[in-house]
Structure 1
């Protein structure tokens, strides 16, 4: 199932929306935190496309979610409160409930990135250390000299959400246990990343803390998969800042 279909939301009234969390997007029995975040982003987009259409602020620029309790697969209800409606930005509060339990709450700020203007300074900032070089055209065939595809993540049957993606990691290993470099695409070649799916993208990556708990052992080695049992690292908080829009057309998307 494509991520757009898996995160579909329906409007019940001007400030209430519903979704159905799918089995294939879970870690264990719990919906993946990034997947839940993507559903939040769909709610926000629909709210600004309908109820708050006159604001002309379709783009989320900041998002802060607190995961108070575990979610579950099945129906979910989102309630939106318009907190501050402004000319440049607007802030809303979104609450997720299942079976009368409030499980996730968040504040989201929207604006219009197509019309935004402002200052930009040449700070000289660069990524350090720089990521390994990549020939993106060779990722699909897994022939890039530097990056190799991990056909399945460890314990993929337990981490069902990881079956929705393809991942490439440095063939020589990560630069250090504190860094995770990866290329990522959806498994379905016709699926596309959108700004509304970025919550899933930023939350589906190897957990850095696992490398330290395992004394530097590569969590994606055969040795790890043979000698360890799966563990769940639940999302407790997710904060994201969006500084631009994804391109609307592409042959294949990688992140």
Structure 2
């Protein structure tokens, strides 16, 4: 079973039921809601605010593959910015609810100052021109093999580049590019990007062979050797669906979009995920996304529930 193409999985093919209400089929590859841009362009032409710059999501229930209902309601329509409410439900129960802030990023609307903020731990230097050739001596590429039942199947849509130099356990740095050569990152995909980092949690397991930075480096080097002899695994049914003691389920997330990407999108983004605290089954995390010039593109704060895989599998058997 091949993965659903990324643009389709991110929300195309939506069926309009009535104004502000849609049905969509969530693919088995992963589940993300449609963009808000089309709705705003159709219903509020006069304000010309098609850029999402702020998102606040609360998650109540898991969304499974199949039909979901997506409802959009106006909260406030202003001259320079507006707020809408989006609700995702399935089988009559609300699963997700979020406020989205809209504006036109092409228009200057406030003061700007350089705060001179920098990384506490500088990222390892990288050359995008060398990453394109998969030949930067300080980074190794890794692509997660696709498995139709894996909780990490969404990561197979990207090629990750991992620093060969070990970092602090609380940090995961990545350069990312779509695994499909014709796909690019647009602003509409940033909600997907901030939720797709390789797992920080795996750095803290006693068994470092599972999904830690060290394990990912080892896997990336093995993939490189396989490519050199003509072996490339995209669909890997034998890889196992749940290869970790636990995984994260997002309870709440906020996303600030700081920059409008070019209309055609970009091929490369840098992302740093950093755990602030892992305690009592919850992890607080910050994700920062930059373009290839290291200009800030998006910031996300996330509260995640740490779910034991064995318990999740037991619950799945009961469904």
Pair 1:154–1:45, CA change in 2 (3 A) = closer
Asked if the contact 2:59/2:252 (under 8 Å) is kept, the reply is yes
Asked if the contact 1:56/1:112 (under 8 Å) is kept, the reply is yes
Following superposition, the deviation at residue 124 of structure 1 comes to: 1.9
Gaps of 5+ in 2: 220-238, 271-319
Within 1, Cα distance between the matches of 2:148 and 2:123?
A: 26
- Correspondence for 1:201: 193
Asked if the contact 2:52/2:102 (under 8 Å) is kept, the reply is yes
Within 1, Cα distance between the matches of 2:165 and 2:71?
A: 47
Matched, 1:234 2:249: yes
For residues 64-90 of structure 1, the C-alpha deviation after alignment (integer angstroms, 9 at most, x for no partner) is 111100100011111111111111111
Within 2, Cα distance between the matches of 1:59 and 1:199?
A: 13
Asked if the contact 1:62/1:240 (under 8 Å) is kept, the reply is yes
Higher RCO structure, 1 or 2 (CA under 8 Å, sep 6+): 1
Match of 1:137 among 129, 146, 164: 129
Asked if the contact 1:156/1:162 (under 8 Å) is kept, the reply is no
Count of matched residue pairs: 240
Gaps of 5+ in 1: 26-30
> 2:203 aligns to what SS in structure 1?
helix
For residues 121-161 of structure 1, the C-alpha deviation after alignment (integer angstroms, 9 at most, x for no partner) is 23221122221111111223321011101133698961211
- Correspondence for 1:97: 89
Within 1, Cα distance between the matches of 2:110 and 2:254?
A: 23
Following superposition, the deviation at residue 215 of structure 1 comes to: 7.8
For residues 137-191 of structure 1, the C-alpha deviation after alignment (integer angstroms, 9 at most, x for no partner) is 1223321011101133698961211111110100122x20111110111110100
- Correspondence for 1:84: 76
Pair 1:168–1:153, CA change in 2 (3 A) = farther
Pair 1:70–1:196, CA change in 2 (3 A) = same
Within 1, Cα distance between the matches of 2:25 and 2:265?
A: 29
TM-score scaled by structure 2? 0.68
Matched, 1:184 2:176: yes
- Correspondence for 2:259: 244
Pair 1:129–1:155, CA change in 2 (3 A) = farther
CA RMSD between the two structures = 2.6
Pair 1:122–1:141, CA change in 2 (3 A) = closer
Matched, 1:219 2:212: yes
- Correspondence for 2:7: 4
